[in-house]
Amino acid sequence: MRTQAIRHRHIQLEGHDLFLREAGPPGAPVLLLPHGYPCSSFQFRRLMPALADRWRTVAFDWPGFGYSDTPDPGEFGYDFDAYESVLTAVADHLGLQRYALWLHDYGSQIGLRHAIAHPDRIAALIIQNGDIYEDVLGPKYETIQAYWRNKTTEAHRPLEEAVSEEGFRHEFVGEVNGTVAQRVPPDLWKLHWPLMDTPVRRQVAVGLMEKLEVNLAWFPRYQAYLREQQPPALIVWGPEDGYMPAESARAYLRDLPRAELHLIEDAGHWLLETHFDEALPLVRDFLTRCHA
C-alpha cells in the first residue's frame, strides 16, 4: 500500500454521503482534520501526504460543502452542534479511539465542542487561526457584529455578498501582501465556488455566519476545557488575519500556558497555502514528541 498517497472515497453516515480523504498507515497515530470556511478537505491536500510516513491523517467535507451531499435543512441542522455530531460519527465509523485534532476556522469551534464531549479521545491539539476569545476578535468581525446588533435587510446584505466567488477570493488573498497572495492557487475559489453555488449551500454558508453569534456563548466553555484538560497544544498562526490577528493566538496562552506558539511572519488565515515549508517542520516535531 502506498501510504503516503491520499486515498479518496465516500462513506455513508447517518443517511448522508460524506466525502473522505485519508493517508498514512492504518495503525499509525491519527491526526483528524476538520476543515474551515470557505473551503473543504481540499485545504489539507499538501499536509496529509507530508505527514503520512508516520501518521494517519483523515479529512472530510462537511455536509453542504465540497463533495459531500447537501441534506435537506429540515433533516440536518447546519449548525455547530450538528457538525460536531458528524465529526463524532466520522471518528466512530473509522474506529478512532484517540487522536490529535487540528483546529482551524469553523473547525476550531466544531472541534472544541467535540473535545468537550469526548475529552478522553484528544491526544493533542494543533491550533491554526481559530478564534475563541471574544475580547481579541479582529476588525473584520465588525460586519458580522453590525448584523448581530441590528438585524435588518441592509445589515444582512454584506453577509450574502460574501458568499460569492469574489467573496471567496477575498477570503483567500484579501489580507496578505501581494507577494504572499501569489502563492495562493486560484483553484481554492475557482473550483470551490461552483460546488457552493446552489441556493441551499449559499444559505448554509450565510447561516453559519449568523450562528456565530450564538457560538459566542460557547467561548467560555471552550476556554474552560483547555484550562481544565491542558491538552498538549501547538499554536501555529498566520497573524495577517482580519478575523483572528496575533492577539487571538496569544490569548490561548491564558488557558494553555505550556502551549507552543509560533506566529509565522507575513502569513495569514491560509498559511498552509503560503507558508507550508515553515509550518510543516513545526507540526512534525510537535506530533513526534506527542507520540514519542
pLDDT band, very low/low/confident/very high, at 3 (cuts 50, 70, 90): low
The correct answer on CATH 3.30.590.10 for the domain covering 7-138+217-290 is no
Neighbours of 14 (CB within 10 A): 13
Whole-number pLDDT of residue 292: 54
Q: What is the reported pTM?
A: 0.96
Q: What is each CA distance from 231 to 19, 116, 120, 139, 148, in whole angstroms? A: 29, 12, 10, 29, 33
Whole-number pLDDT of residue 1: 44
Whole-number pLDDT of residue 168: 97
Whole-number pLDDT of residue 92: 97
Residues 143-198 pLDDT 10s? 999 999 999 999 999 999 999 999 999 999 999 999 999 999 999 999 999 999 99
Residues 88-105 pLDDT 10s? 999 999 999 999 999 999
Residue type, 232: P
Nearest to residue 114, comparing CAs of 212, 231, 18? 231
Q: What is the mean pLDDT of the chain?
A: 96
Question: In this structure, is the dihedral angle defined by the CA atoms of residues 106, 111, 117 and 119, taken in order, positive or negative?
Answer: negative
Whole-number pLDDT of residue 251: 98
Q: What is each CA distance from 45 to 21, 103, 189, in whole angstroms? A: 9, 16, 15
- CB proximity list for 243: less than 8 A, separation 6 or greater: 129, 131, 137, 138, 140, 141, 269
Whole-number pLDDT of residue 2: 52
Residues 32-67 pLDDT 10s? 999 999 999 999 999 999 999 999 999 999 999 999
Whole-number pLDDT of residue 224: 98
pLDDT band, very low/low/confident/very high, at 243 (cuts 50, 70, 90): very high
- List Cβ<8 Å contacts ≥24 apart for 136-145: 136/245, 136/247, 136/248, 136/250, 136/251, 137/243, 137/244, 137/248, 138/241, 138/242, 138/243, 138/244, 138/245, 138/248, 139/242, 140/175, 140/242, 140/243, 141/243, 144/209, 144/212, 144/213
Tell me: pLDDT of 231 over 80: yes
Tell me: pLDDT of 283 over 60: yes
Contact 4, 53 (CB under 8 A): yes
- Going from N- to C-terminal start, the domains of the chain cover 7-138+217-290
